[in-house]
Structure 1
Amino acid sequence: MSKASLQVQRQLLAVLADGGFHSGQALAEQFGVSRTAIANYINDLEQVGLDVYKVKGKGYGLARPLLLLDAQRIKKLQSVGTAPVFVQHITDSTNLQLLQMLQNASPPLKATVVVAEAQTAGRGRRGRQWYSPYGSNLYFSYYWRLEQGVQAAMGLSLVAGCALCSLLRREYQVNAQLKWPNDIYINGHKIAGVLVELAGQADAACNVIIGIGLNIALPETALQHINQPYADLTQATGQLIDRNKLIVQLQDELTNALNTFEIEGFKPFQQIFNQYDVFAKCLVSISGSATASGICLGVDENGAVLLEQDGNIQAYYGGEISLRAST
């Protein structure tokens, strides 16, 4: 899509964002394009997961009002001196965009964030696809330079999860819980996931990309793409969520958490994780590169999950393993 077409598409969205109906003819006249072009723009948005109603005699309307990402509003909400937030319309993956920035002659500032309205190649843990419909979620990637190197990065996904869980509880009054090693749940339903990617040498500073996908207001079609119970923040709070404000809050929360992590390691986060552990004292199973079952006792001071098996406590570290409730 050309730059001019992208601009019209964004302007069209700004009009539709009020949740009301707008006739195709009026939209075509407003933007100086044909009704066919408007229909094509709408079709493109539907292809990236936006719910649009088409009603004869009324025109086009979004299934629900939409607060679009706004770079200027985000900057106004930030404290002076905060690293920039780059807002993209539709991208492949916000993590990939940050990784590409690291290859530039001028790398990003520490705590730089990239967000997008939609992703075409969103990724979860272990290479899984992350469902990324337009304007429905928060697609958020955060850059940090860890001076202690790759070996000091153990537990980073848990630190990011603790930061997000604490933010959701404090600012949005939802009963968020943590699932080792990288998920956030509300009332037994997944609402967010964390993907940490590292680039660097074991004996030198490494670059850290923390990707967070947070469900904000999933469309009705989400059930066709998600194979597990899910929650979103709009449903959990009963409020229209301003993602621009949430982005600034999350950037600040992660910066504070990572500053603490660099100085004190994972230990300060151990109590937070264990307090909000969704599987605390539950029978669980581990699968993947290791297999085991036992009673979940939370995590140790390094972020390893602890399972009690026949009176013995065994620690299991991250990597290619997953944790599930057992019956």
Structure 2
Amino acid sequence: MTLQQQSGWQIQQQLIRYLADGQFYSGSWLGEQLQLSRTAIANHMQQLEQFGLELFKVKGKGYRLAQPLQLLSAEKIVHFQPPGSAQIEVESIVDSTNSQLMQRLQRGDKLLKGQCLVAEAQTTGRGRHGRVWHSPFAANLYCSMYWQLEQGIQAAMGLSLVIGVAVAELLEQQYQLKPALKWPNDIYGDGKKLAGVLIELSGQSDGQCQLVIGMGINVQMPAQSALQHIGQPWIDLTTLAGALDRNQLIAHLQQCCIKQLQRFEQHGFQAFQSEFNRRDLFQGQPVRLVQGTQQISGTCHGVDAQGNLIVEHQGKKQLYHGGELSLRADAQH
């Protein structure tokens, strides 16, 4: 980021702090506070809209956010963490929280197991198969956690399902929701996508494996922004559970994931098989598995003790694992 970009972002951060309460502020008043012209304020407001913020501009009143913002705060997050917890760092805007942690690993930086990076927005957030993960500012939760496995990359099989179980358990215990899990990495609420997991690995097949576990949870998605960028049914936590504190959410998410990762290290995926299957979105349902131009239709029977998907096709149960596979409901049945 250039010095000019940095100073521009500093101004935009100040504007966000003023606007966060959801009240109207005139362009001239904002310009006085920041020693800028009204034209410069208008240009910065346009940039904020590019970050996914929904702004109203009313003649004679000024600018107002469509809804108040609750900003992430490292100081507030600490109050929700047990003593001795790994750090949760807060950034405003990054390319991708996963990319940031992977770059640190490549540089040889020392990270602690359970250490997290959370951002208000991502410019190039991503999901499986390189798909874009829409990441509007201060609307949702974009988080990546560092972990390591001593047994090598092979030991990581089924890990995205474990994180799905951890997120589901958090939503059940903290918000009394009934989430469903979609193999291999999605969490659904009320039949619509609520959250996703993206795990990236670095290491040897038989040596220590370093993991970056990315999690995106829809918290209060701006509807207008979502219409432009999301091509599938979605839902957010605010719709399902009412207003909530994102600072508390990330602290509890960290602890829930650490607890389940430690359990996974001791017992493997077999300990999670029944927990995944009872929450399986497609359990007993007709499904289609898509791999490139190939499609297989059958009935979903959950996962086996290694996290492989079980699909009954033409009277025979077959196993499938991650890679480039996509699982969908089969509307033809």
Q: Same fold (TM over 0.5)?
A: yes
What letter matches 1:308 in structure 2?
A: E
Whether 1:302 and 2:302 are equivalent positions in the alignment is: no
Whether 1:243 and 2:246 are equivalent positions in the alignment is: yes
Structure 1 portions without partners, runs of 5+: none
Please name the residue that 1:322 is paired with.
Answer: 326
* Aligned partner (choices 202, 208, 223) of residue 227 of structure 2: 223
Please name the residue that 2:285 is paired with.
Answer: 282
What letter matches 2:51 in structure 1?
A: V
The secondary structure found in structure 1 opposite 2:107 is coil
What letter matches 1:63 in structure 2?
A: A
What letter matches 1:42 in structure 2?
A: M
Please name the residue that 2:215 is paired with.
Answer: 212
The secondary structure found in structure 1 opposite 2:89 is strand
What letter matches 1:299 in structure 2?
A: V
Aligned partners of 2:149 and 2:35: how far apart in 1?
50
Identity rate, percent? 52
Runs of 4+ residues over 3 Å off in structure 1 = 1-5
Whether 1:62 and 2:65 are equivalent positions in the alignment is: yes
Whether 1:170 and 2:203 are equivalent positions in the alignment is: no
Q: Deviations over 1:61-101 (max 9, x none)?
A: 11111101111111222222111111111110000000111
Please name the residue that 2:204 is paired with.
Answer: 201
CA-CA distance at 1:35 after TM superposition? 2.1
Aligned partners of 2:243 and 2:64: how far apart in 1?
17
Please name the residue that 2:26 is paired with.
Answer: 23
Aligned partners of 2:314 and 2:226: how far apart in 1?
41
Whether 1:181 and 2:184 are equivalent positions in the alignment is: yes
CA-CA distance at 1:241 after TM superposition? 2.5
Please name the residue that 2:48 is paired with.
Answer: 45
Q: Deviations over 1:23-71 (max 9, x none)?
A: 1122222233332232222111101111111111111111111101111
Whether 1:133 and 2:133 are equivalent positions in the alignment is: no
TM-score by length of 2: 0.94
CA-CA distance at 1:105 after TM superposition? 4.4
Please name the residue that 1:118 is paired with.
Answer: 121
The secondary structure found in structure 1 opposite 2:106 is coil
Whether 1:234 and 2:220 are equivalent positions in the alignment is: no
Q: Deviations over 1:146-170 (max 9, x none)?
A: 1111010000111111111111121
TM-score by length of 1: 0.96
Supply the RMSD in Å over aligned alpha carbons: 1.4
Whether 1:78 and 2:81 are equivalent positions in the alignment is: yes
Please tell me whether the aligned partners of residues 96 and 126 of structure 2 are also in contact (alpha carbons under 8 angstroms). yes
CA-CA distance at 1:240 after TM superposition? 2.2
Tell me the number of residue pairs that the alignment of Structure 1 and Structure 2 aligns. Answer: 326
Whether 1:102 and 2:105 are equivalent positions in the alignment is: yes
The secondary structure found in structure 1 opposite 2:113 is coil
Aligned partners of 1:56 and 1:187: how far apart in 2?
40
Aligned partners of 1:117 and 1:36: how far apart in 2?
26
Whether 1:261 and 2:264 are equivalent positions in the alignment is: yes
Q: Deviations over 1:262-305 (max 9, x none)?
A: 01000121111111111111011111066422111111111111
